[in-house]
Amino acid sequence: MGYVNCQCLIMFMCLPIFVVSLLPFMIAVLVYQSVLILTGYVIYCKILQNPYDLHTTSNVASRAHRFTWYLHGWIWNGYEVQGLENIPDSGPALIIFYHGALPVDIYYLIAHLFFHKDRVLQAVADYFLFKVPGLKILLESIGVIPGSQETCTKTLKDGNLLAISPGGVYESQFSHRYNLLWKNRVGFAKVAIDAKVPIIPVFTENLREAYRTLSTGKSLFEKIYNATKFPFTPIYGGFPVKLITHIGKPIPYDPELSPEQLKTKVANAIEELIAKHQRRPPSILRAVMDRIPAFRIYCLILRKLNKSKGGWDSAARTMISGLWYLHGKIWHGYEVRGLHNVPDSGPSLFIFYHGAVPTDMYYFYTHVYFHKNRILNAVADRFMFKLPGFPILMECLKATTGTKQTCINLLKDGNILALSPGGVYESQFSHNYNLMWKNRIGFAKVAIDAKVPIIPIFTENVREAFRSVSFAQRLFLKLYTWTKLPVAPVYGAFPVKMITHVGKPIAYDPELTPEELQVKVADAINHLISENQRLPGSILHALIDRISSLKERHKLNQHTLRKQK
């Protein structure tokens, strides 16, 4: 009996080792599933004698196996990409990335670029991958190349995107704390200079927590690798940690830089991304907990409080922002796209479409506060300041009643300010995302007097989250005209997907009249609505949008239809 108990104890103790050793094989299963999809497609085309091209974004096989990777990244790692706007919509660029123990992040990024940017990202892989049975067709489909300097230069000169990790397999095995192991490799820099293309630095947060290589026996495995050029270091992991790929700003081509100088510049850019986004020392447990929005918000609040040197209002603002940030993430899966259009310093006037309840602006405020380290002042209707308890909240969040002179002063002091020309009127009586600004040009006069750019904003599905009733419009309009209070009943609070789209700034132009500027801004917001909002609005579809894969498939279909037209 004692022997059996001892045997059970040993098996129980060895179970975690068995699991972490087995999990990496999930990726092998996924790889060969993609191989089967592609092989089946090629056989099908040959039987029907149809021509096929595995590189294009239009064939079924390319979509199917990339969708598999997209789905796996979303489910298993909650995969996200931040800075996708730094990838050009057309033309060549060289992407330089840090190499994890298993580069699953690059597979996920390839899928994201395929579906979000309609672009094929080619990559350089080690020669040993081309010798693995069955992988040739997958590598051909993804656009993986062995990576001689001439091949890479030609690929870029043909207008393609190309990804390279200078550290390669060596870095994947022996970098344990996110340290770059590039040695004296400057080949990628020579390629970028010869092809005259920008370099885009990329780093994936928690990559080393998803898969790890053994740190014991490093000297032995390094000797074996140097002798064989084959990665023998054992890998373990496959943990469902949060993975976020951060794409840095492009480093433009500079003919004055030598390859060595360019290498140093790119390495510094990637190390900045690591220092900014990666928790040190690394922790698998915390990386798994990053999947929980509440934990990420908690970390953001702590970081903000530690840096804060203000009084009670600064601490209160941080706590309130944390609560709203968390609510948006959990209840609406809230996102901001185009956050790079928000300036890091200096004044700007944000103009937005007003939903039935402007919860999107509270969420947007928190994203600007935490991610851009800026306080977004906002213009609110006077009745808000008369609600019990609201004056102190308005003061804390830097809301103002918004006289023309107050707005001009705020902007001239270097602040960012948000207002909705449609205001409460638009919130009650706009039912299908139509702007209801009447002849209001006050915001345009403010922008012209303060000499600041205007940034258009629209939140997708804001009218599906909360709606105002569409019956008895004349009655509610008369009541509103008489009382100036929003009396139209509001219903909803549905957990729909909400995404705030930040448009490109409209630069100050002294030649424009307020009326012309109003038209220009209205056109910009209408363009954001037509590009991103399903019309007519649908609560059911907006709820389904919480399923990322279905949403992106819809977006891609819409994008394809527009291109065909």
CB 437 within 8 A of CB 523: no
Backbone angles phi and psi of 161, in degrees to 5:
-90, 140
Q: Would you state the pLDDT for residue 312?
A: 59
Q: Would you state the pLDDT for residue 522?
A: 97
Q: Would you state the pLDDT for residue 473?
A: 86
Decide whether 6-289 matches 311-558 in CATH topology.
yes
Domain 311-558, CATH number (from 2.30.30, 3.40.50, 3.10.450, 3.40.1130): 3.40.1130
State the pairing for strand pair 399-400/376-379.
Answer: parallel
pLDDT in tens, 418-472: 999 999 999 999 988 999 998 899 999 999 999 999 999 999 999 999 999 988 8
pLDDT > 80? residue 31: no
Backbone angles phi and psi of 272, in degrees to 5:
-65, -40
Backbone angles phi and psi of 498, in degrees to 5:
-125, 130
Percent of the chain surpassing pLDDT 90: 55
Q: Among 278, 270, 374, 281, which residue's Cα sits nearest to residue 321?
A: 374
CB 337 within 8 A of CB 502: yes
Please tell me whether the overall predicted TM-score, pTM, comes out greater than 0.95 for this model: no
Q: Would you state the pLDDT for residue 342?
A: 96
Domain boundaries, the chain: 6-289, 311-558
Query: Cα separation of 72 and 29, whole Å?
Result: 12
Say if residue 456 is preceded by a cis peptide, omega within 30 of 0: no
Q: Catalytic one among 65, 99, 246, 367?
A: 99
Average pLDDT over every residue of 111-134: 86
CB 208 within 8 A of CB 101: yes
Q: Would you state the pLDDT for residue 92?
A: 97
pLDDT > 90? residue 281: no
Q: Would you state the pLDDT for residue 484?
A: 84
**540 burial level (CB within 10 Å; 0-12, 13-18, 19+):** exposed
Lowest mean pLDDT among 22-26, 87-91, 243-247, 284-288: 22-26
pLDDT > 70? residue 542: yes
Q: Which amino acid is at 541?
A: H
Residue 107: CB atoms within 10 A of its CB come to 23
Strand partners, 202: 97, 247
Residue 479: CB atoms within 10 A of its CB come to 16
With bands split at pLDDT 50, 70 and 90, how would you rate the model's confidence at 109? very high
Encoded tokens for 247:
């794409």
CB 123 within 8 A of CB 56: no
Lowest mean pLDDT among 90-99, 245-254, 544-553: 544-553
Helix (H) or strand (E) holding 189, with range, is: helix 187-195
pLDDT > 70? residue 269: yes
Q: Is 99 a catalytic residue?
A: yes
Looking at residue 393, what DSSP letter applies? H
Class of domain 6-289: alpha beta
